[in-house]
Amino acid sequence: MNEMQFLQSRFGEYYKSYQPPIAHVEQREFGFGGWEKKIEFRHLAFKSPDELRQRLAREKPLYVSYSAAYYEFPDARPMPKKNWLGADLIFDLDAELHSCAPFICPECLEKIKAQTLKLVEDFLIPDFGFSKSEMIINFSGNRGYHVHVHSPAVYSLGRDERREIVNYIAGANLDVVSFFGYERDGQYMGPIEAEKSKASLRFFGPMPTDGGYAGKFAREMIRRARENPESLKEISTKLKKPAELEKFISGIERGNWDAIGISKREEKFKAIFDSVAVRLPEHVDANVTFDTSKLLRLPKSIHGGTGMACVLVNDFAAFDPMRDAVVFGGQPVSVKTVQQVPAIEMKNQSFGPYADSQTISVPEFFAIYLICKRAAVLA
């Protein structure tokens, strides 16, 4: 038995009881992939969730993708013949490249989880008015999360409209300077740069009760001042004094960002402002949000690059992918490493580090992970 056959036998078992957690299976396009390519076949269609399950259990693909789009004829080709009916709104958040690759470290997982939470809690719910019941959040199976919004309000959005949503969430083209200005007797007198020297004018900035980015920015500044004043030491050394810190906070609450007098404000505020937006993938081609014909990993399917499942996330705070996305059992399997493997925590057990060419007996879920990562072969 080679590695591909071993993985397929295990994946096939898993798919015997698979239930797709997506609506309108019959209107989706599917793609299957194997050892060489993540999508080897596409333009596949299934009349029911049951037909999909049976096919998965029989063909045992290493990767399963589906379209966020709904089509009248999902298996027709070329693409225009499918007759596009609409699409869910999808966000694909992946951990940035880091020295831990091809494995993933807890810090990278924490960072991407925080970005995903920010997207949902600070943008999709308050700014766009989506409810939690209109969203599915799933672990991507590897290095990130997918957020699917399945609301009739988004189905018909075209590429340009989806791009606008992404630009808003990523804070594209926003300049921190534009949130500040000077006024005299309630009248706007110009931005910071132009009016710097005019001491008689009143400096104003966003208030926590403002909508959009202005409010997010003010709330984030106040949150940091309260929870982590140390992180504001670059802004002013005065903030070390509790009385000055209080003055700074109560100033921002009224839209006065100059209560304690800060030099080079706009430069110093920028770093905080930049942390308010969500980091979304910049490469246009890679962005599944506005490419409405792109296929993405099917929720609850297995990711062939890790052997972990794209499980749904219900309780984000408690979710740990290295524990909760592990679906295979603990029966011992002998494998031989083909590269160095760092220490890895999986399903509350510690493994490694291992040297290259080391033969080890490990639980099946970890053997599958190493084989999927191409870090080990069957021994």
Active site residues: 92, 94, 285
Cα 368 to chain center, whole Å?
24
Residue 143 vs 146, nearer CB to Zn ion: 143
Residue type, 321: P
Secondary structure (H, E, C), 181-242: EEEECCEEEECHHHHCCCCCCEEECCCCCCCHHHHHHHHHHHHHHHHCHHHHCCCCHHHHCH
Distance (Å, whole) CA 144 – CA 321? 9
Residue 107 vs 164, nearer CB to Zn ion: 107
Task: Provide the minimum distance between the beta carbon of 354 and Zn ion in the complex, in angstroms, as a whole number.
Answer: 19
| Both tokens assigned to 285 | 């081609």
Residue 263 vs 350, nearer CB to Zn ion: 350
Candidate ranges 38-46, 101-109, 141-149, 225-233; the one touching Zn ion (CB under 5 A):
101-109
CB neighbour class for 286 (10 Å; exposed up to 12, middle 13-18, buried from 19): exposed
Candidate ranges 91-99, 110-118, 165-173, 367-375; the one touching Zn ion (CB under 5 A):
91-99
Distance (Å, whole) CA 172 – CA 266? 18
Give the closest residue to 335 by CA, choosing from 350, 355, 357. Answer: 357
Residue 150 vs 303, nearer CB to Zn ion: 303
Task: Provide the minimum distance between the beta carbon of 352 and Zn ion in the complex, in angstroms, as a whole number.
Answer: 16
Residue 108 vs 341, nearer CB to Zn ion: 108
Residue 45 vs 104, nearer CB to Zn ion: 104
Q: Which of 16, 24, 37, 98 binds Zn ion (CB under 5 A)?
A: 98
Candidate ranges 61-69, 80-88, 98-106, 122-130; the one touching Zn ion (CB under 5 A):
98-106
Candidate ranges 97-105, 295-303, 325-333, 371-379; the one touching Zn ion (CB under 5 A):
97-105
Distance (Å, whole) CA 247 – CA 236? 13
Task: Provide the minimum distance between the beta carbon of 206 and Zn ion in the complex, in angstroms, as a whole number.
Answer: 34
Contact set for Zn ion, span 311-330 (CB under 5 A): none
Give the closest residue to 307 by CA, choosing from 66, 60, 68, 97. Answer: 60
Angle of CA points 223, 227, 228, to nearest 5°: 105
Give the closest residue to 166 by CA, choosing from 287, 322, 36. Answer: 287
* Count of residues that bind Zn ion according to CB under 5 A: 4
Task: Provide the minimum distance between the beta carbon of 301 and Zn ion in the complex, in angstroms, as a whole number.
Answer: 24
Judged by CB under 5 A, does residue 105 bind Zn ion? yes
Judged by CB under 5 A, does residue 100 bind Zn ion? yes
Contact set for Zn ion, span 267-306 (CB under 5 A): none
CB 176 within 8 A of CB 273: yes
Task: Provide the minimum distance between the beta carbon of 109 and Zn ion in the complex, in angstroms, as a whole number.
Answer: 8
Angle of CA points 352, 358, 361, to nearest 5°: 70
Task: Provide the minimum distance between the beta carbon of 108 and Zn ion in the complex, in angstroms, as a whole number.
Answer: 3
DSSP assignment letter at 341: B
Q: Which of 69, 87, 90, 108 binds Zn ion (CB under 5 A)?
A: 108
**Interacting residues with Zn ion (CB under 5 A):** 98, 100, 105, 108
